[in-house]
Structure 1
Amino acid sequence: MSETFDVVIIGAGPGGYNCAIRCGQLGLKTAIIEKEATLGGTCLNVGCIPSKAMLHASELFDEAKNNFASLGIETGSVKLNLPQMLKQKEDAVKGLTDGVAFLMKKNKVKVFSGKGRIAGAGKVVVEGKDAAELSAKNIVIATGSVPTNLPNIEIDEERVVTSTGALSLSSVPKKMIVIGAGVIGLELGSVWSRLGAEVTVVEYLDRIIPGSDLEVAKAAQKILTKQGMTFKLGQKVTGVEKLKSKLKLTMEPAKGGASETIDADVVLVAIGRKPYTDGLGLETVGITPNQRGVIENNHFQTGAAGVWVIGDTTTGPMLAHKAEDDGAAVAELIAGKAGHVNYDLVPGVVYTSPEMAWVGKTEEDLKAAGVKYKVGKFPFMANSRARCNHTTDGFVKIIADASTDEVLGAHMIGVGVGEMIAEICVAMEFKASSEDIARTCHAHPTQSEAVRQAAMGVEGWTMQM
C-alpha cells in the first residue's frame, strides 16, 4: 500500500528543502525525494557553497602572497596546499548538508532517497534506494537545473569541465579557458587565476555579465583584467580538440571572420544552466515544458491540478535564494495562506573580488522603456573604511524615478556589496525614495556609508569626497 502525504516534493535543493521545512512548520504531512546521496541540491553540493569556500580560500591565499607585506605582516614564503584547500571546501559542504538532513527530521519531513517520478494524478514513484509508491494531495516539482553544454564538446569533468569539475581539479592548470563570462565563469575563473592559472575568458557577447548594469560590467572587466584574467569578447566557440598533452579551443568572431585557436590544459564550460526534468513523468499529468525546457506556472501552479513548480525548473531567475522564496510561498499557498514572491526584487550577486551586486532596473532597462530617472553614484575610493582596508575599487550607483524619487534600482561593485544590496531590497520592497535612504543614519566608518552617499547623490547633496 502506498503512503499518503499532503505534500510530496521532488528535489531537495534550496527550493525543495525550504518548501519542506515550511510545510512541516505549517503542519502538513510532507515527503521529499532526492536522487543524490546528500540533500541540498546543486547549491550546497556542487554550486554556491563549495564555490564560495574556494573563493574565500583563494582570496586569502592571494592576500597573504601579495598584500600582507604592505600591511606590515611578514609571513615568509606562502605556499598553496591544494588538497587541504579542497578538504576545507568539502568540510563546509558536509556541515551544511548534514544541517539540512537535521532540519528534515526536526520538521517531521520524511526523506526518500531515489529518483522521483510522477505516475499520474496524485501519484509519485520513488525509484532507487527507498523505492516506494506515494500518494500525494500536492506534488511540488523542485528538480532544479543542470549545466548547459555546447554542441560537439565532450564534457569529461577532468579536462573539459562544468562547474562541478572546476571545483575539484586535482592540480592548478597552467592555462585555463573559461567559455562564458557570466557569474559562474567569472567566479571559478577568478579562483584558479588567484591560485596560479593563466585564465582566458571567451564570451559570445561583446560584454561580460549579461543583464547587469553596463557600467558595473565595464568596471568589473577592467578590475579582473588588472588581476590577470584575459577576455576575448564577441567570440563564438566552434570546438575543443582533445590532444594527449593539451586542449585546443577554436573560436571565430560572432559577427563573422577568421577563426583562432588557443591552447589550454583545462576548459571550463560555463554558458548557463537549463531546467532538469528528465524522466520526471510530466506527460502522465499533461505537462509540457516550453521550448527552453521551462515548466510555466500561474502563481506556482502548473496546468495539472495539484502539481506545483518552483526554482530553476520554472520561470524567473535561476538563483538559490529565488528558489527558497518560491518554496516557502508554495508551502503557504498549499496551507491556505497568502504566498508571493516579488521577482522584480530578487538581487543578483557575483562573488568575485571585488563583488558585484544589483537589484531592480538598470539604466539600459529604463532608457529602453522611456522612463525618466536620476542617478546618484559614490566611489569606494572616497569611503573612509574602504581607504583604511585598502578596498577602494568600485562604486555604488542608485537609480530613482525622476518625478517621484522612488528607488528603481541599485548597482554596486566593491568588497562586501553582496551584503550591502539587502538594504536596497528592503527599501525597494517598501517603495522607498532615494531621500529615505539618504536620511537614514549609517554607522561610521563603514563601507555601507557608500550606499547612503550614493542616495544623497541622486539629489546632489553628497557629503563625503
Structure 2
Amino acid sequence: MKSYDVAIIGSGPGGYVAAIRCAQLGMKTAIIEKYSTLGGTCLNVGCIPSKALLDSSHHYDDAIKHFEEHGIDIPGEIKVNLKQMISRKQAVVDQTTSGIDFLMKKNKIDVYEGMGSFKDATHIKIEGKESLEIEAKNIIIATGSKPANLPFIKLDKERIITSTEALKLKEIPKHMIIIGGGVIGLELGQVYKRLGAEVTVVEYMDRIIPSMDAGLSKELNKVFKKAKFNINVSHKVKSVERKGDEVIVKADNKKGEEVEFKGDYCLVSVGRRPYTDGLNAEAAGVNINDRGQVEVNGHLQTNVKNIYAIGDVIKGAMLAHKAEEEGVFVAEVLAGQKPHIDYNLIPGVVYTWPEVASVGKTEEELKEAGTEYKTGQFPMRALGRSRASMDTDGFVKILADKKTDEILGVHMIGARCADLIAEAVVAMEYKASAEDIARMSHAHPTYAEAVKEAALAATEDRALHV
C-alpha cells in the first residue's frame, strides 16, 4: 500500500490546485478522480465549455448583426454549424484537461482514476479499473457539486436537461424554457438565443441574478428584453411534463395565477448541490450538515483533525476561483504557514454579454447593515472605447464609505467586466479609497476608464465625461 503526506479526492480547480501547491511545498501528494479526465465540473462540463460556446455564439451574433455596419461584407447566407461549434468546444476542453495531466506529471503527483471513498480517517479505497487502497496522513475533500433539481422534476436528459446536456445538444432548440434566472441559466440561454432559439426564463425570485446588486439585475434585464428574451420573475414552477418532443412547464405567478409555457427543451438551472455521494464520509467520522455540505472550521478543517474540505462541497459561493484559493490555503496550512482568505473580496462574474461582475458589498447589504455610503456610477456609453466597439450597454458603480471614502463594493456590467473587476479586487485588498482610484492614470481609450470615472463620481461627483 502506498502512503502519502496528502491525498486529494476530486480533481476540479480546488483539488488540482491544492495538489500542485502541496507538491510545491514538498509533500508527497496523490489525487483521486472518478472520471477519465481531470479538471472536474469546471473544465469538463462547466466554466470552460460554456465560455467556448459563449464565444462562438458571440462571433455568430456579431456577424449577423454588426459586420455590415463595420464594413465587413460576407457573400451568401451566414449559417450556424452547431456540430462544428460543439466540436470546437470539446477541443478546448480536451486541450485544457490535458494541460492538467501535464501539471500533475511536472509536479510528480500520483493520479488515481476511480471512485475514492473513506475506509477510515487515513485510508482511502479507490474503485476503478482496479481496486486498491492508499494511506494518507492528511486528506482533502474536493468533490465539488452537481446540478440541483426540484423534487417534482424528472430529468430525462433529452428534453428536460441540466447544464451538462445543454453543452452538447445536437440541434438548436426552437424554444428553450429555462427554469432559473441565475448565472448558468442566463449564460446558456444567451448561447441558444444567439443561435436562433426562442428563450423563456422562469425565475422564482423577483429579479434575475438575484444574488447580485439590484442595479446589475435591472440593467441585464433591460439588455435581455431588448434581445427579445421572455423573462418571467416571481414565478413558482410547480410542474414540468414531457409529451413527445414538447415540454410543458406550469408555474404560479405573483398573483397566484397559473401560467403555462411550452417548448421543445427545458433547461433546469436551479443551482448546484454539494456532491458527497459515495464518499462514505461517515466511515472517517466527518460531519455533513443537512444541506449536504461538509462542515469545516476557519482553517477549512473538518471535525476530524487530519481531514480538510474545500470548494463547492463546503459553505460559500460555488466558484472555481474560490475553490482554488481554498486549495492553496489548505496546502499552506499543512505546511505550517499562516495563509488568509478574505471571502468578501472573491469576485462573482456572469459571462453573458455584456458581462456582469461584482466584488464586496451590494447596496442592499449596506442598507441592511445601516452603513453610511456614497455612490459613484458611470455609464459605458460615455466611453470612446465602448462606442468604437459598439458595446455601449452597462455601467460601473463604486460604493464607498461616506466618512472614510474606503471602497466597500464595486459592481459593473459591460464589455470585459470579467477582467475589469480585478482592478477593484486589488484596490479593496489594499483598502483603497475611491479617490485613490480616481487619481490613478487609466489608458485611453479603454473600458477601464469607466472605473476611474465611477471613482471620480464617488469623490465629490467629479466625473469628467458625463
Aligned to 1:461: 462
Residues 112 and 130, structure 1, Cα contact 8 Å, conserved in 2: no
Aligned to 1:182: 182
Aligned to 1:28: 27
User: TM-score under structure 1 normalisation?
Assistant: 0.98
Aligned residue identity for 1:463: L
Counterparts of 1:393 and 1:311 in 2: how far apart (Å)?
33
How far does the alpha carbon of each residue in 1:404-446 deviate from its partner, in whole angstroms, 9 at most, with x for none? 1100000000010000000000110011110111111111111
2:85 maps to 1:85 = yes
Aligned to 1:247: 247
Displacement of 1:130 in angstroms is 4.5
Aligned residue identity for 1:297: V
Counterparts of 1:399 and 1:154 in 2: how far apart (Å)?
43
Counterparts of 1:158 and 1:54 in 2: how far apart (Å)?
19
Aligned positions of 1:352-391 closer than 5 A: 352-391=352-391
Aligned to 1:19: 18
Counterparts of 1:346 and 1:410 in 2: how far apart (Å)?
12
Counterparts of 1:39 and 1:382 in 2: how far apart (Å)?
44
2:54 maps to 1:55 = yes
Displacement of 1:387 in angstroms is 1.1
Aligned to 2:265: 266
Counterparts of 2:131 and 2:321 in 1: how far apart (Å)?
31
Displacement of 1:142 in angstroms is 0.1
Query: Which region of structure 1 is more displaced relative to structure 2, 339-348 or 139-148?
Result: 339-348
2:231 maps to 1:195 = no
Aligned positions of 1:218-229 closer than 5 A: 218-229=218-229
Counterparts of 1:66 and 1:453 in 2: how far apart (Å)?
30
Displacement of 1:156 in angstroms is 2.0
Aligned-residue Cα RMSD (Å) equals 0.9
Counterparts of 2:110 and 2:302 in 1: how far apart (Å)?
24
Displacement of 1:461 in angstroms is 1.0
Counterparts of 1:91 and 1:438 in 2: how far apart (Å)?
43
How far does the alpha carbon of each residue in 1:239-281 deviate from its partner, in whole angstroms, 9 at most, with x for none? 111111311111112x562212211100000000010001111
Counterparts of 1:153 and 1:365 in 2: how far apart (Å)?
33
Residues 174 and 198, structure 2, Cα contact 8 Å, conserved in 1: yes
Unaligned runs of 5+ in 2: none
SS in 1 for 2:202: strand
Residues 23 and 30, structure 1, Cα contact 8 Å, conserved in 2: yes
Displacement of 1:391 in angstroms is 0.7
Aligned to 2:172: 172
Aligned length: 463
Q: List 4+ stretches of structure 1 deviating above 4 A.
A: none
Task: Give aligned-pair identity as a percent.
Answer: 53
Displacement of 1:131 in angstroms is 2.5
Unaligned runs of 5+ in 1: none
Aligned residue identity for 1:115: M
Aligned positions of 1:50-129 closer than 5 A: 50-76=49-75, 77-129=77-129
How far does the alpha carbon of each residue in 1:52-107 deviate from its partner, in whole angstroms, 9 at most, with x for none? 00000001000001111011111132111010000100000000000001100000
Aligned to 1:3: 2
SS in 2 for 1:224: helix
2:279 maps to 1:280 = yes
SS in 2 for 1:248: strand
Counterparts of 1:178 and 1:245 in 2: how far apart (Å)?
16
Aligned to 2:397: 397
Aligned residue identity for 1:454: A
Query: Which region of structure 1 is more displaced relative to structure 2, 336-345 or 424-433?
Result: 336-345
User: TM-score under structure 2 normalisation?
Assistant: 0.98
Residues 181 and 201, structure 1, Cα contact 8 Å, conserved in 2: yes
Aligned positions of 1:150-161 closer than 5 A: 150-161=150-161
Displacement of 1:294 in angstroms is 1.0
SS in 2 for 1:69: coil
How far does the alpha carbon of each residue in 1:155-189 deviate from its partner, in whole angstroms, 9 at most, with x for none? 12221110000111100010100000000000000
Aligned residue identity for 2:4: F
Residues 121 and 285, structure 2, Cα contact 8 Å, conserved in 1: no
Counterparts of 1:422 and 1:456 in 2: how far apart (Å)?
18
